[in-house]
Amino acid sequence: MPNKKPVIQNVKEELRTAAEVTKAKGQQVKGAVKEALGKMTDNAKMKSEGTVEKVVGQANEDAAKAKNAARDAREKANK
């Protein structure tokens, strides 16, 4: 019989993933704002920092979603 995690553990993992995705989305928004301000003020450094921040935020979001998908697949395989 497979080792099943308690429901509370699954909820904690789902909340952790949601928090990671939310943090990554915030990073993307911050980067977009910084990028737009850089464009408006003709500040190349600020624009590029914003672009980098957006890309890093997207990568963090993708990583959190991949981790969630891997956990779901592992749980499905253990059923």
Q: What is the mean pLDDT of each run of 10 residues along the chain (79 residues)?
A: 66 89 96 98 97 97 93 84
Has residue 56 been placed in a domain? yes
Has residue 24 been placed in a domain? yes
User: Residue 23: its pLDDT value, please?
Assistant: 96
User: Residue 2: its pLDDT value, please?
Assistant: 52
The single-letter code of the amino acid at 28 is Q
Domain that holds residue 47: 7-69
Q: Count the domains in the chain.
A: 1
Work out the angle at residue 76's Cα, subtended by the Cα atoms of residues 75 and 79, and round it to the nearest 5 degrees. Answer: 90
**Residue of 78, 76, 77, 64 lying closest to 19 (CA atoms):** 64
Is 34 exposed, middle or buried, given 0-12, 13-18 or 19+ CB atoms closer than 10 A? buried
User: Residue 9: its pLDDT value, please?
Assistant: 79
Has residue 75 been placed in a domain? no
User: Residue 5: its pLDDT value, please?
Assistant: 63
